[in-house]
Structure 1
Amino acid sequence: MKVSVIGGGLGGLLAGAALSKDHDVHIYEQLEIYGGRFTNLPYKGFQLSTGAFHMIPHGPTGPLASLLRDVGANVDIVKTNPEATFMTKDLKQIPFRDFNELLSAASRSRIPALVMRTVTHKKGNVADMVWNDPEWLAIADSCCGWALSTTAQNTPASEAVAILTTTRKYGTPGVPMGGCKGVVDALADVIESNGGSVSLNSKVDSIMVEDGKAAGVVVGGERISSDIVISNIGHKLTSRLYDGKYLEPKYAGVINKVRPSAGIKIVLAAEEPLVGHPAAMFTPYTQRVNGINEVSHIDPSLAPEGMHLTMSHQTMRTPDVQKEIELGLQDLKNLFPGKKYSVLMVQSYRDDWPVNRISSGFDLGNLTPVRGLFVVGDGAKGKGGIEVEGIALGVRNFLDIFDKAY
């Protein structure tokens, strides 16, 4: 079959690589680089990422690593040690599993009940799940903000339970050698070695639909026929590419209601380690920053010799981007008093370039009202998948649908 893929982000590359062994796959990317929010930007000897944190949530044993192996993408993923830490109020780090040390006796007494809730609680949001207890909320907001760019209040409890189940199954994070670019380069190599292509600076103008079925794409005025079309640009942007008569009212109502998750990343350069290890350090006692990592401990090639690459992340709590950035920068000063570092880059992710096109727990799946038109990526994540793991689970779901239909 001839397959056209709109967008060369991680989801599009994963789907394209999986199908390229047996099908004729062509990916059309409007930017001059592929990878979307999952690749590298070289700057002053550092390998800065366009979005993700050079980290794979479940390391070499998770859904993304498994799918990479299945499609033949050669990526070395090294597990982090420790798995994660928390920064306490007095600026000391404790192991993630010792989170009870952050709690008062009263809040600590709720641990057995919360353990049960992490298995059975499916109603409301994460804030409800932790009884809106301020001490528990600080921890929950830090974890939700770092992993999902959401708050405890706007994260469904059912999704949190699914994520915890997935984490128990697959384990803790890892760092892909070469950073995000190491992953997407390997996928592009698979596609091209199988006879497919990844075309850059190639914006898809529209999706051709005949008798309710996707018939191809129009790129730069050229009509390119295909048997199926896969979109990696989310449900809303995809719907703008085909005739509105195929946009079912119910579906249109849903895609107009869903909201992306927005976040801010601040990238630091330092000669001495700020975090001191490659894993995530959660920061529950800040104004904005939810967590920080320092992956150059595992892959020194991500920073110049003798330097460290440190990245913080925070969910956006207000639309005032400049104010949110200022609060994040102040948090970093408070977290690392007396430490010498410089700010390499500040990135905001929102609107049509968000952290997730649809916030975790509200994903719309792979199907569209048009037969033969599918969506993959961060608007079609699999349930219980954190960020890129969710993208991989969503691509797995798509592949199951594809196998049954074709």
Structure 2
Amino acid sequence: MAQRFDCVVIGAGIGGLAAAARLAAAGLAPLVIEARDRVGGRFSSLDVDGFRVSTGAVAVECGGVLEETFRAIGAPFEVRRPDPAVVFRIGGKDRSFGGGWLQIFEMFVQRGARMLAAIREEVGRPPVEGGPSLGDWLRGYTEHAVLHGIFQSLAASIFAVNADEISARVFFEHFMVRGGFKRFGFAPRGCLGLVEPLARAIEAGGGAVWTGSAVERILVRGGAVAGAVCRREGRAVEIPVSAIVSNAGPRETLALLDESAVPRDYRERVERSLGPAANVALYFTARRPLVSAPGLLTLVGAQRVCNLANLGQLCPELTPGGEPFYVAFGVPRPSLGAFDAAETIRLMKADLAAEIPGFAEAGRVLAVHVMQGSWPAQRACAGHDLPQRTPIEGLWHVGDGVKPQGWGGASACAESARLAILGLLGVSPASASP
């Protein structure tokens, strides 16, 4: 191996690529090792009958840390934003809340001022174990079925959980502190078409990206990273480095370490804390357009479907010839733990038949992805994430098992990468630019 590397990044998901991009932008040489034959992980694309079907993420946040990561290394960030971004279907009627989430309170909650004051108080409290769930918290202030349906849909859309499975504090912090998921769009060449140029920019910046390769062991000496053993082109390759950033997930990373190298309390914490959140993505086309909303259509009060993305209208490049192209996301009950996938899919199809006129007659299902287990919607339920830092010197986690408080989706992975690389480089987040 002629080239020397400063850091190994395990996994080319969006968290791993974001970490490698920041390392390369800092003048270091990262090596990204990805077991699959493509980059992106759950932020990638597959071809299904000529349609570009995502492996996970669909809505891409604009103007935040994710886009800034691309800009930092000179990679293009081609995302189209719909207008309006989100439409709520309530009782068969479509409504767009141009004023954002606060307008929801103004329209549906008679005691909106009281609730908003309580939300601000909830967010201001220090985090505690066993705080009220979003569902329980809402029931303490209102029984308005539409409002409960809206927040169920938001919890499912952003965090891949039901309202009774996420703490009220974590949920509201996303909106009150982060400002919510305001600006987003769809990648016209699919998520793979978005991250492939990012991988090329990492290589142009002095790094390398190995696909079809897998890290088999993380080497530790004296409590610090000493290197990694990788399987590449049928042979074992040892890469000597003092820093490793893992996007494989905390539990999967532990499997690469000798048991003696990991403190028992940390191993137990990983096993105890991490509970992956699941969802189901159902991709379909139709003989004619079924939805007019150009972005996300949120189905308030549906049994399992939380929202539907109208991909083909805004990005016909995702289709073979400009056909209608949609994906519906549903969250099972429960989202955390075992669930009946077949029943969830059946209920999702029933939701679509009831809420989307013409689906039963003209719709054709292209693919159904059940995101669970080792390929989940989120590796950790929001509010139960682990720190990016590990007890092993030079080993850091990134991705959706180590999300910062109040973050969700691909942006959470990008922010975890930003924080991890700042920590690895010894830079305080408070003194760094985004």
Greater CA drift, 40-49 or 272-281: 272-281
2:51 to 46, 50, 54: 46
CA contact (8 A) 1:88 1:102 kept: no
Q: What is the aligned partner in structure 2 of residue 24 from structure 1?
A: 29
The one-letter amino acid paired with 2:356 is F
On the 8 A contact 1:3/1:229 being kept in 2, the answer is yes
Who is 2:356 aligned against?
Answer: 336
Could you say which residue in structure 2 is the equivalent of 1:6?
10
Of 50, 55, 75, which residue of structure 2 is paired with 1:73? 75
* Separation of aligned partners in 2, 1:230 and 1:104: 45
Please tell me whether the aligned partners of residues 188 and 316 of structure 2 are also in contact (alpha carbons under 8 angstroms): no
| Bigger shift: residues 201-210 or 240-249 | 240-249
2:17 is paired with a residue of what secondary structure?
A: helix
Give the letter aligned to residue 241 of structure 1: L
| Percent of pairs with identical residues | 27
Contact kept in structure 1, 2:394 and 2:424, CA below 8 Å = no
The residue correspondences of 1:56-205 to structure 2 (distance < 5 A) are: 56=60, 58-59=61-62, 61-89=63-91, 91-96=92-97, 108-122=109-123, 123-131=131-139, 133=143, 135=145, 136-168=147-179, 171-205=182-216
Structure 1 residues 326, 51: closer, same or farther in 2, change over 3 A?
same
Q: Is the 8 A contact 1:165 1:384 kept in 2?
A: no
CA distance in 1, matches of 2:156, 2:270: 23
**Alignment counterpart, residue 251 of structure 1, candidates 240, 263, 266:** 266
- Aligned residue in 2 for 1:308: 324
In structure 2, distance between residues paired with 1:400 and 1:266: 38
Q: Give the direction of change, closer, same or farther, for the CA distance of 1:24–1:348 in structure 2 (3 Å limit).
A: same
Mapped to 1, the partners of 2:287 and 2:390 lie a distance apart of: 49
1:105-149 alpha-carbon deviations (Å, 9 max, x no partner): 9x6213222222333314422113312636132221111111111
AA in 2 matched with 1:71: I
Number of equivalent positions: 401
1:118 touches 1:164 (CA, 8 Å); kept in 2? no
Structure 2: runs of 5 or more not aligned: 124-130, 429-434
Q: In structure 2, do the counterparts of structure 1 residues 101 and 210 end up closer, same or farther at CA, with 3 Å as the change threshold?
A: closer
Would you say 1:352 and 2:374 are equivalent positions? yes
Counterpart for residue 127 of structure 2: none
Say if 1:381 and 1:391, in contact at 8 Å, map to a contact too.
yes
Deviation at 1:342, TM superposition (A): 0.5
AA in 2 matched with 1:270: A
Deviation at 1:222, TM superposition (A): 2.4
Whole-angstrom CA distance in 1 between matches of 2:169 and 2:414 = 20
User: Offset of 1:166 from its aligned partner?
Assistant: 4.9
Q: Per-residue deviation at 1:167? A: 5.0
- Cα 1:229–1:69, aligned 2, differ >3 Å: closer, same or farther? same
Q: Give the aligned partner of residue 416 of structure 2.
A: 394
Task: Note the aligned Cα RMSD (angstroms).
Answer: 2.3
Residue 394 of structure 1 aligns to a residue whose secondary structure is helix
4+ aligned runs moved over 4 Å, structure 1: 97-105
Aligned match of 2:344 in 312, 324, 334? 324
Q: CA offset at residue 101 of structure 1?
A: 10
| Structure 1 contact 277–295 (Cα < 8 Å) conserved | no
Q: Distance in 1 between matches of 2:292 and 2:178?
A: 24
Larger deviation, residues 298-307 vs 283-292: 298-307
Instruction: Give per-residue Cα distances to partners, 1:56-88, cap 9 Å, x unaligned.
Output: 1x32x1221122212222112222210211111
Q: Is the 8 A contact 2:290 2:357 kept in 1?
A: no
- Secondary structure at the residue paired with 1:168? coil
Q: 1:101 to 1:393 in 2, by over 3 A?
A: closer
Structure 1: stretches of 5+ with no match in the other structure: none
Aligned equivalents of 2:102 and 2:120: distance in 1?
Answer: 19
Q: Which secondary structure does the structure 2 equivalent of 1:277 belong to?
A: coil
Paired residue secondary structure (1:130): helix
TM-score, L = length of structure 2: 0.87
Structure-1-length-normalised TM-score: 0.92
Aligned to 1:261: 277
